[in-house]
Amino acid sequence: MSPEDRERFLQNDQRFHNLPPEQQAQIRQSFEKFNKLSPEQRQNMEQNAKSLEKLTPEQRQNIRTQLLPKWRQLTPEGRQELKQRLGTLNGLSDAERNQKLNDPNFYKGLSPQEHDVLKQLGDLKLNPGSGGV
């Protein structure tokens, strides 16, 4: 959807108008950020969205309450390292992915918290490289 079409949609959406101005501004900022993403980053976000849709409500709740706070506690360097390692899982079959996720060498050099977050993200087939997680 083009920025013009999106704005027209928002102007005509009653739910959007019922939101506080701060939330309306946050939504607009999110659209701006999305427009600045590369095609690869957008595709990654779409893949993550599809993966999240397949999760149970309990799994989504666990992400919000457990995994996301742990992710945010990591250093920027730690998050980048996990993104790179998760990127190596892209395109692998489920069997290859599981083999890699069960290989101790895949986690070599990581702190226990980084190991835990990487394992959980890998098992959920989520890749925060787009900024999605």
- Each residue's pLDDT tens digit, 64-120: 999 999 999 999 999 999 999 998 998 889 899 999 999 999 999 999 999 999 999
Residue 110 structure tokens: 């990581």
Residue 69 structure tokens: 């706070």
Contact 71, 133 (CB under 8 A): yes
Instruction: Please give the residue that has the higher pLDDT: either 73 or 2.
Output: 73
- Each residue's pLDDT tens digit, 41-58: 888 888 878 888 888 999
**All structural domains of the chain with their residue ranges:** 1-36, 40-130
Alpha helices in 13-130 (DSSP H): 14-18, 21-36, 39-54, 57-62, 68-73, 76-87, 94-101, 112-124
Contact 48, 127 (CB under 8 A): yes
Q: Considering the entire predicted model, what is its pTM?
A: 0.66
Residue 58 structure tokens: 């309990």
